[in-house]
Amino acid sequence: MKTIIVPICSTLCVMLLLGARVAIGQTETNDPPKEKTVLELLNEGNARYLRGDILGSIKRYDAVIEKQPFSAIAFQKRGRSKRRMQNYQGAIKDYDKAIELKPNFVNAYLGKAQAYLALQNYNAAIKAYGRAVDMNPAKPYIPKIYYNRGLAHLEQKNYKEALADFSKAIELNPKMDKAYLNRGNIYYQLNKGKKACADWIQAKELGNEKAKLNLERGCK
């Protein structure tokens, strides 16, 4: 009968094996989680904002500001989120900080103007829109800036200024149906029925339902 010889690990072998296991365990459990970069946090904040997780976006922008307290973009983005939550005063504070850090920050002025418009502080909104226009922003922004400033003028019954802004918006974007609608409304208030009806027809052709109602009521 053959004798089976089982290899016996020496004490040194056992200690080495145990040491390796401990080392592996330490590597797996004790390594700190990787800290997110400012760019990663900004991207996460933007993604959460687009998904409608506004509080989640604010937390990410808070983290960016904690890491980089001079980040104008983080203050502007957080202001946007606060405005979405109708925290208009908080939004304006963040927009002001963004402008302080980056004086020619068009998006910060636009957001600030929108917040003032929501608060019905039309003079402040008009001023902020004016600053944005002065900075020669990218072309897609310009018609909307003029249109929104026209709305602020209209709320204050500054008809001359509102007409000028709506006309400029139409010049820059002939398919802006709301600009035709509101310019027509002003013409109607000024007893310029033909011009009002002409603008409402344009707005209707662009799909504006309110213009259709105005035509039925005021242009028979």
pLDDT digits (tens, 9 = 90+) for 96-129: 999 999 999 999 999 999 999 999 999 999 999 9
With CA atoms as reference, report the closest residue to 169 among 200, 132, 139: 139
pLDDT value for 11? 45
Would you give the distance in Å from CA 2 to the centre of its chain? 83
pLDDT of residue 31: 52
Q: What is the pLDDT of residue 69?
A: 95
Task: From 106, 116, 175, select the one nearest 145 (Cα to Cα).
Answer: 106
**What pLDDT, on a 0 to 100 scale, did the predictor assign at position 129?**
95
pLDDT of residue 140: 77
pTM: 0.78
Cβ neighbours around 150 below 10 Å, total: 27
SS (H, E, C) the chain: CCCCCCCCCCHHHHHHHHHHHHHHHHHHHHCCCCCCCHHHHHHHHHHHHHHCCHHHHHHHHHHHHHHCCCCHHHHHHHHHHHHHCCCHHHHHHHHHHHHHHCCCCHHHHHHHHHHHHHCCCHHHHHHHHHHHHHCCCCHHHHHHHHHHHHHHHHHCCCHHHHHHHHHHHHHHCCCCHHHHHHHHHHHHHCCCHHHHHHHHHHHHHCCCHHHHHHHHHHCC
CATH number attached to the domain at 37-137: 1.25.40.10
pLDDT at 70: 96
Residue 79 is predicted with a pLDDT of: 98
Residue spans of the chain under pLDDT 50: 1-29
Domain ranges of the chain: 37-137
